[in-house]
Structure 1
Amino acid sequence: MDPVRRLAGDLLICVLKKGAFSGAELDKALSKTDFSERDKAFLTTLVYGTLTHLYAIDFELAHHSKTKLSKLEDHVLTQLRLAVFQIRYLDKVPPFAAVSEAVSLVRKKNPKAAGYVNGVLRGLLRRQTAWSFASEEDALSFQYSLKPELTGHFLTSYPQHVREILEGLLQSGDLCLRISGTPQEVLAYQQTLEDQGFAVAPGRLHPMFLHVAHSGAVRSLPGYAEGRIAVQNEAAALPALLMAELVPRGKVLDVCAAPGGKSACLCLLGTPDLEITALDRTKAKVEKMRENFQRQHLPIKTFVQDGTVFRSKEAGAYDGVLLDVPCSGLGLMGKKPDIRQKMTLEGMRELEEIQRTLIAVNSRYVAKGGYLIYSTCTLNPRENEEAIRWFLAAEPSFQRCEEPLQAWVSSRKTPQLLYQDGMLTVLPGQGLDGFFVAILQRRD
């Protein structure tokens, strides 16, 4: 009986039945096991892969099972799902091995269910014909393993890019590292990793980033303890990269800042005269930021502060404000597959009020002539473009600042950068998360 598959099943039950987050549960499990690096990588693949492809997996199981999936015991359904993932999506796992392990693990807890599991999986293996669907939405939902309400959202909101988006959201991407130092030092670090056998690719948006094929702990990489490297997707760094050009010196406020990647990136790019203050609403998040900044030797001020509460003493006190609001996170589904299962259209709508409150409150900290950069890690016009249009209609003292953003996009030959109406959407895939950025400037 395979302990890796057994643990994968336990973790999936925690995520799907108890509402736990897969990343946190997986990290906790990996820290406690004595698995080999190969087995740890396989465990990660099983958990994330099954969550990513869960809709298509359940679609097939429902057609081959005489019992409704909702009626099955948790451990039976979970081992069925794991087996189908291996059969359909892992070329290196022989189908008979996936079936055999699932049957063995189920027999251990419920001998009577072992025959049922064997029958369902062998029936699935015998199927040779392709599925047919009544609509494009249904076909895309199965092909890209996304529940129909989210597929419908992308079809409606991004009709010209829907397949590109759905394909990108199936990609977890390599580990993206931000390297502190000169371009020559970044190249030297890349060579160090390559000498150790890692496959490394340069950043697509900025030379301070490297994409590394590494599934182990980032703490094991050279330079981590010394603060030379940090994990940050290039798309998530966009607000900081833009702010560094707009406000190289002066005062910048980073709201909803945890875990601190944008502030850290901006601090590395700014001049010694740049003063950065990073806020978040909970003590735990701020303490984590402080730890990150201390490890990277960055002089960034941190405070616990609710971004929805206005502090009148600081009105107009900042040359720039970074506002990365809480959002539905649809652009992160490639690396956070829980979102595929948990996010709903209703949940997306519930976020709009706090997003609009945050932009209304924190825009008041921007000095005349200063900048507010609004960003999300989602692909949803209501949270992105429509939020900006709503704010500009309500606050005529601000305007879209299009030239810097357009010039920045034009200088990068990256087709995933979708610039429209003075705002930027990053389409997911090729190592980039889905992301949205808009630059607003307070009129003098």
Structure 2
Amino acid sequence: MAGISNREIALETLIEILEHGQFSHIYLKAVLDKYSYLDKNERAFINRLVNGTVERKIQLDYIIDSFSKTKAKKMKPLIRTIIRMGVYEIFYMDAVPDSATCNEYVKLAKKRGFAGLSGFVNGVLRNISRNKEKIEFKELGVKYSIPQWLVDKWTKDYGVDEAEAIMAGFLEPQDLCVRVNTSKITREDLVKNLEESGVKVRICDSLDSALYISGYDSLASLDAFKKGLFYVQDYSSQLVPKLAGVKATDHIIDVCSAPGGKALHCGELASDGLVVARDLTDAKVSLIQENINRTGATNVTAVKWDATVLDEDAVRKYDIVIADLPCSGLGIIRKKPDIKYNQTEDTLAELVALQGQILDTVCEYVKDGGVLCYSTCTINKDENENQVEHFLSSHKEFKMEKMTQLLPDREHDGFFICVMKKN
């Protein structure tokens, strides 16, 4: 479309995510790739406006409903999205004055064929702008834009104070965490390389494989990324091979591996060993293979396999089984803000059952004296501590060695890791 504005790009993107169910992290990346010719600051504006509007949707609707006779859920989808975007800008972005923001969204409504509702858009946004200092968010679900059933669940599991800290953690800004490919470069040399490319780098003090980066235009444009000198991998995920105790000669299988970060990390640590990285679909296996090729790993093999199906040839063959299993993703809401709106209590129960089925299957691959490392990117106890307790009660040959639940903060996402040793 000729003459498309940054706000219109954001509008189109948000319609797809909030009204048509596209996954925010996948769809937004595709949009930013499509408009890669835009200035870095323009794409940053689109990224922030889209992510912020998704992230704060519950709060934005609360504000809208406080000032509009027509409630958000009753509005036409395009008008609802336009007003949500406007409210987000008014509250959380200060690039332009509120009056100019209101004007931009009135123009956008007219351009999209809703001239008859442009006055409504104008009235709601200007009323909100005039009264924004008076608005209070008394309920935790509104303050942090978390569905009430999750607020109730986390309050029950963690207590009110810890639950609020978790919700606040999801709104903390976070730099991108990457893992140094030590088979190609030292951390010190990678830092120098990135800084010479204009990237801001912060060294992680507690993990010698991790760096935090910011200020880059796009990953794909970085020479260090193209050469496979680093891999995008959260701090929490990098902990898995460390806690699993990977040794140089270990044979390891990662049963739900895509996109392959943990398997590649294990491959670096098990320099004289072997790593089998499995996943369910051709697309996921291709993604693992792509990352194997980019990073130059020679001891990691990508294989298509359904983790719920027992592989008789793999029984008791592996020193370490990495089981980072499908989960609710409620620890990575910051990266995938729409996930909190898409999960339900029923989907959680289905995931718990699937995890149990996979664990019952893949534990057979562990050698005597070997390790089963179970992990999830969630903070849901039914998928984590309770899942482990159930597994150990029916598999007496395993004993828990270490267990940790990370909660979201500036350094990492919410993540669970449990290492169990086979007698």
Same fold, TM-score > 0.5, yes or no: yes
Residues 87 and 93 in structure 1, CA contact (< 8 A), matched pair in contact too? no
Tell me the SS of whatever aligns to 1:224.
helix
113, 116, 123: which one aligns with 2:117: 113
Assess if the C-alpha contact under 8 Å between 2:250 and 2:274 holds in 1: yes
Instruction: Give the TM-score of the pair, scaled to structure 1.
Output: 0.90
Q: 2:136 aligned with 1:131, yes or no?
A: yes
CA offsets 1:380-402 (integer angstroms, 9 cap, x no match): 10000000000010111111013
Q: CA RMSD in A?
A: 1.7
Q: Tell me the secondary structure at the aligned position of residue 275 of structure 2.
A: strand
Cα deviation per residue 1:38-59 (whole Å; 9 max; x = unaligned)?
A: 1111000011011011110011
- Alpha-carbon distance in structure 2 between the residues aligned to 1:229 and 1:2: 35
Q: Which has the higher contact order (CA 8 A, sep 6+)?
A: 1
Give the Cα separation in 2 of the matches to 1:132 and 1:85: 15
Identity among equivalent pairs (%):
32
Partner of 2:34: 32
Instruction: Quote the Cα distance in structure 2 between the aligned partners of 1:122 and 1:204.
Output: 47
1:442 partnered with 2:413: no
> What does 1:298-377 correspond to in 2, within 5 Å?
298-299=297-298, 300-377=300-377
The answer to whether structure 1 residue 13 and structure 2 residue 18 are counterparts is: no
The answer on whether the counterparts of 2:190 and 2:229 sit within 8 Å (CA) in structure 1 is: no
State the SS of the aligned residue for 2:293. Answer: helix
C-alpha distance 26-130 of structure 1, shift in aligned 2 (>3 A): closer
CA distance in structure 1 between the partners assigned to 2:201 and 2:253 by the alignment: 33
In 1, Cα distance between the equivalents of 2:183 and 2:295?
15
Residue aligned with 1:399, SS: strand
1:231 maps to which residue?
Answer: 232
- Structure 2 counterpart of 1:293, one-letter code: I
For residues 189 and 41 of structure 1, the distance between their equivalents in structure 2, rounded to whole angstroms, comes to 25
Confirm or deny that 1:167 pairs with 2:168: yes
Kindly state the Cα deviation for residue 189 of structure 1 after the two structures are TM-superposed: 1.8
Deviations 1:163-189 (A, max 9, x none): 221111113511111112289821122
Counterparts of 2:248 and 2:415, CA distance in 1: 23
CA separation in 1, counterparts of 2:356 and 2:378? 15
Which residue in the other structure is 1:410 paired with? Answer: none
CA–CA distance in 2 between the matches of 1:246 and 1:208? 14
> Which position in structure 1 is the counterpart of 2:25?
23
Q: Distance in 2 between matches of 1:284 and 1:223?
A: 25
Deviations 1:266-304 (A, max 9, x none): 1112232x1111100101100110110011110211110
| Aligned residue in 1 for 2:288 | 289
Q: Is the 8 A contact 1:2 1:101 kept in 2?
A: no
* Alpha-carbon contact 2:250-2:270 (below 8 Å) kept: no
Distance 1:98 1:347 in 2: 39
Cα distance in 2 for residues equivalent to 1:246 and 1:25: 35
Q: Is the 8 A contact 1:326 1:355 kept in 2?
A: yes
**Separation in structure 2 between the aligned mates of residue 278 and residue 323 of structure 1, nearest angstrom:** 11
Query: CA deviation digits over 1:36-94, x for unaligned, max 9?
Result: 11111100001101101111001110111111222212111111000100111113332
- Rounded to whole Å, the distance in 2 between the matches of 1:426 and 1:204 is 17
How many residue pairs match? The answer is 416
Aligned residue number for residue 103 of structure 2: 100
Work out the CA distance in 2 between the residues paired with 1:143 and 1:352.
29
Q: Secondary structure at the match of 1:161?
A: helix
Q: CA deviation at 1:2?
A: 6.7
The runs of at least 4 consecutive aligned structure 1 residues that moved more than 6 Å come to none
Residue matched to 1:192: 193
Q: Which runs of 5+ in 1 are unaligned?
A: 134-138, 403-422
Match of 1:396 in 2: 396
